[in-house]
Amino acid sequence: MDMNLNLKPNIAGPDDFYNWLIDSQRNMDERQAAMMNCKLVLLLANHIGDRAVIHEALRRAGGAI
């Protein structure tokens, strides 16, 4: 049921991205980091915009949908 969800490496500088993500939460407590992750998911889902792709991503990430 892949709805055009790209599962191939697609981020230029993946190590840089990982470091940005870790650094962005360095001074946050667990609740703040979880809230930031939720906001990030919503921002990226809005950017993607395709409901079928977002649904597939949620399913693959382990969501009970």
What residue numbers bound the domain in which 65 lies? 28-65
In whole angstroms, what is the distance from residue 20 CA to residue 60 CA? 24
Q: What is the tally of structural domains in the chain? A: 1
pLDDT band at 3, cuts 50/70/90? low
pTM of the full predicted structure?
A: 0.81
Question: Residue 6 falls within a domain, yes or no?
Answer: no
Share of the chain above pLDDT 70, in %: 92
Three-state SS at 53 = helix
Per-residue pLDDT of 12-24, as tens digits, reads 999 999 999 999 9
Question: Residue 59 falls within a domain, yes or no?
Answer: yes
Here the tokens at position 45 are 């889902």
Question: Residue 60 falls within a domain, yes or no?
Answer: yes
